[in-house]
Amino acid sequence: MFVVLTVAVLAMLASGKYLDRTTRTHGPMKLVGDIKGVEAPDFSLLTLDGQKVKLSDYRGKAVLLNFWATWCPPCKVEMPWFVDLQKQYGKDGLIILGVAMDDSEPATIAKFAQDLGVNYTVLIGTDKVSDDYGDVQYLPTTFFIGRNGAVVDKLTGLLDRKDIEDDVKKALSTDSGAPLRPAPVQQNQAQVQPKPVPPDPPDTRVPR
């Protein structure tokens, strides 16, 4: 029990806040609150070799969208699992996209991914895609997107491989024509301008 508790605590610490992002200006944040059944925001990101990839290119497929970084120990634990899942479920329509959220050069990220035998597409993350996905502040964070483009589930931190595989199966079992819910948009507090308070109406009472 002590060993299990220790591992769990270390995993939580390792998957803590990945970057102090208070120094940048946030855009509107999507995927806030109850996001299941909500359409996953489309994006256009670059691969490590400079090719452009859009999420909408994979409509009709099940997508595992994993936000990670080269310096994130729990991410390194998960990545071989993703390699196996891509091998096992790729024929069934699974697409895994790994979004690198660190400041390393593409060549450094590519070397890291190659050393781990990554067999899925790795993309260079941006502040915008982070905001679009609810301001991703903890790594790893993984979204499971169904064939209809809707979010099936979201996992944060290092969890059990079975939890990940179960969500992959849920995403694969979705109907490509299932209806979507529109994504809510939450303005960052710095962007919300207070409404002006109208002045009090003049006192029209007749003095007695």
pLDDT tens digits for 68-92? 999 999 999 999 999 999 999 999 9
Q: pLDDT at position 7, please?
A: 42
Question: Any idea what the Cα angle at residue 123 is, between residues 136 and 126, rounded to 5°?
Answer: 45
DSSP H/E element including 193:
none
Residue 113: count other Cβ atoms within 10 Å of its Cβ. 21
Q: Is residue 97 over pLDDT 90?
A: yes
Q: Name which residue leads in pLDDT, 5 or 100.
A: 100
Distance CA 127, CA 67 (A): 12
Two tokens, residue 29: 């944040």
Q: Residue 38: what pLDDT?
A: 92
pTM: 0.78
Residue 38 carries which DSSP code? B
Q: What's the pLDDT at 177?
A: 79
pLDDT, one tens digit per residue, over 170-191 is 999 998 877 777 666 665 544 4
pLDDT at res. 181: 73
pLDDT of residue 30: 72
Neighbours of 57 (CB within 10 A): 13
pLDDT at residue 207 tops 90:
no
